[in-house]
């Protein structure tokens, strides 16, 4: 935590504050957001660091020690097949966070390109592209994901993509809105009059200007994707055994909550604290990057 603060101060101390430095300065003042950020960094280190040094695998079973209560040997207890819950939580966190981040990135890439093209070109093309978004909006996302999963098979990468592909719609609308308000600004007119190609205008001038809104929305997409993955895993469509995500861990925990409540408690605690952190960070970023919208 202290290390991050030190870095940030050096940025603040620079002369002539950029948008980013300015935003960082404001974000820092939001204690909840900073707390959320620190927690997430801590979690990431835990998830990706600990499995490297631990000797027990997340899938190693000790059938003679099933549903054991938390102890020195198994910090958070063991599950119905005698697997260490702590290891499974870390591994599950890795999957859940990776799903969350990758799917959000997929949604961002598709959404930003789609939205900026629609907004910049305008007219009939815009109308057509946005009607497509409207139609897709009307489809229940879960059916879309299930069809994609069934059609392309059970594959973790595809799960990321499928979730991302159902998340880009709102992103596309937000970006389009931003681009619509930007496209008649002077600097775009200037770029046009200089004869710069359309593609370059979109990539160089429009997209960077929408990034604030995009990043804010991204932090809100991550938690919703994590929840959707949990939901899919609950239905048996998410990650496959012996892999675990927080969703599958919670599902398994619910079944044995009478005998081993810790199997439900710890995964649920992890999921909810992470979602809180992401939401706090998202709120903080919104206030920091978009001062005008902070009051609503």
Partner 1 sequence: MRRSTLLSCLAFSLGISKLLFATPQVLNIGNGSEPKDLDPHTVTGVPESQIIQNLFEGLVSKDPQTLKPVGGVAESWKVSKDGRTYIFKIRKNAKWSNGDPVTSQDFIFSWKRLLDPQTASEYAYQGYYIRGGRDFNLGKVKDSSQLGLKAPSPETLEVVLENPTPYFLSLLYHHSLYPVHQTTVQKHQMRWTRPENIVSNGPFTLQKWEMNKVISLQKSPHHWDAPQVKLEGVNYYPIEKPETEEKLFQVKKLHVTGTVPTEKIAYWTKDNSGVFRRHPYLGTYFYWMNVTRPPINNKLVRKALALAIDREKLVKFVVKGGQAPAEFFTPPGIGDFHPKALLPKDGSRIAEAKKLLEQAGFPQGKGLPSIEILYNTSDAHKKIAEAIQQMWKENLGVQATLYNQEWKVFLDTQHSHNYMVSRAGWIADYNDPNTFLDMLTTGNGNNHAAWSNTSYDELIAKAAKEKSPQKRNQLFQKAEEILLEELPVLPLYIYTRIYLLSTDVQGWYENVEDVHPLKYVSLK
**Near partner 1 by CB under 8 A: residue from 3, 14, 15, 64:** 64
Quote the least distance from Cβ 167 to partner 1, whole Å: 12
Quote the least distance from Cβ 61 to partner 1, whole Å: 5
- Residues facing residue 267 across a β-bridge: none
Q: For partner 1, give the closer residue by CB, 9 or 272.
A: 272
> Which residue do the tokens 């593609």 mark?
199
Residues 281 and 23: beta-carbon distance below 8 Å: no
122's torsion region: left (phi>0), alpha (psi -120 to 50) or beta? Answer: left
| Number of helices followed by number of strands (H, E) in the chain | 13, 0
Binding residues for partner 1, rule CB under 8 A, total 27
**Near partner 1 by CB under 8 A: residue from 11, 81, 130, 146:** 81
Residue 138 makes contact with partner 1 by CB under 8 A: no
> Which residue do the tokens 């000790």 mark?
62
Q: For partner 1, give the closer residue by CB, 46 or 243.
A: 243
> Which residue do the tokens 């903080």 mark?
284
Quote the least distance from Cβ 266 to partner 1, whole Å: 17
- Residues facing residue 78 across a β-bridge: 84
**Near partner 1 by CB under 8 A: residue from 21, 25, 38, 66:** 66
Residues 119 and 180: beta-carbon distance below 8 Å: yes
What does the per-residue mask of binding to partner 1 show for 154-173, with x meaning CB under 8 A?
A: x-------------------
Q: For partner 1, give the closer residue by CB, 186 or 258.
A: 258
Quote the least distance from Cβ 201 to partner 1, whole Å: 38
What does the per-residue mask of binding to partner 1 show for 227-266, with x meaning CB under 8 A?
A: -x--x----x---xxx---------x-xxx-xxx------
- Residues facing residue 84 across a β-bridge: 78
Q: Which stretch binds partner 1 (CB under 8 A): 30-38, 75-83, 118-126, 184-192?
A: 75-83
Residue 199 makes contact with partner 1 by CB under 8 A: no
Encoding tokens for residue 191?
Answer: 């770029």
CA–CA dist 253, 233 (Å, integer):
13
Q: For partner 1, give the closer residue by CB, 67 or 180.
A: 67
Residue 193 makes contact with partner 1 by CB under 8 A: no
Q: Residue 71, SS3? A: coil
Task: Render 97-147 in DSSP notation, one character per residue.
Answer: HHHHHHHHHHHHHHHHHHHHHHHHH-HHHHHHHHHHHHHHHHS-HHHHHHH
Quote the least distance from Cβ 246 to partner 1, whole Å: 17
Residue 142 makes contact with partner 1 by CB under 8 A: yes
CA–CA dist 253, 17 (Å, integer):
49
Task: Render 161-195 in DSSP notation, one character per residue.
Answer: HHHHHTTHHHHHHHHHHHHHHHTTSHHHHHHHHTT
CA–CA dist 28, 31 (Å, integer):
7
Quote the least distance from Cβ 62 to partner 1, whole Å: 9
Q: For partner 1, give the closer residue by CB, 74 or 176.
A: 74
Residue 80 makes contact with partner 1 by CB under 8 A: yes
Residues that bind partner 1 (CB under 8 A): 59-61, 63-64, 66-67, 80-82, 140-142, 154, 228, 231, 236, 240-242, 252, 254-256, 258-260
């Amino acid at each position: 935590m202290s290390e991050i603060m030190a870095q940030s101060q050096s940025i603040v101390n620079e002369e002539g504050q950029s948008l980013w430095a300015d935003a960082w300065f404001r974000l820092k003042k939001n204690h909840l957001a900073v707390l959320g950020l620190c927690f997430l960094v801590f979690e990431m280190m835990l998830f990706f660091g600990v499995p490297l040094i631990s000797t027990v695998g997340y899938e190693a079973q000790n059938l003679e020690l099933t549903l054991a209560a938390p102890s020195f040997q198994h910090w958070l207890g063991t599950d119905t097949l005698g697997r260490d819950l702590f290891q499974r939580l870390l591994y599950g966190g890795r999957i859940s966070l990776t799903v969350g981040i990758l799917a959000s990135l997929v949604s961002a890439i598709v959404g930003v390109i789609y939205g900026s093209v629609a907004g910049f070109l305008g007219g009939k093309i815009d109308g057509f592209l946005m009607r497509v978004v409207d139609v897709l909006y009307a489809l229940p996302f879960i059916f879309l994901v299930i069809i994609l999963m069934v059609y392309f098979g059970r594959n973790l990468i595809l799960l990321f993509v499928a979730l991302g592909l159902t998340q880009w719609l709102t992103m596309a609308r937000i970006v389009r809105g931003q681009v619509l308000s930007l496209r008649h600004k002077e600097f775009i007119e200037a770029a046009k009059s200089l004869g710069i190609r359309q593609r370059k205008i979109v990539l160089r001038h429009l997209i960077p200007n929408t990034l604030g809104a995009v990043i804010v929305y991204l932090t809100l997409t991550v938690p919703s994707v994590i929840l959707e993955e949990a939901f899919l895993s609950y239905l048996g469509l998410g990650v496959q055994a012996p892999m675990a995500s927080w969703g599958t861990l919670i599902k398994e925990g619910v079944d044995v909550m009478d005998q081993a409540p810790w199997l439900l408690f710890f995964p649920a605690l992890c999921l909810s604290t992470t979602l809180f952190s992401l939401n706090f960070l998202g709120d903080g970023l919104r206030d920091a990057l978009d001062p005008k919208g902070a009051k609503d």
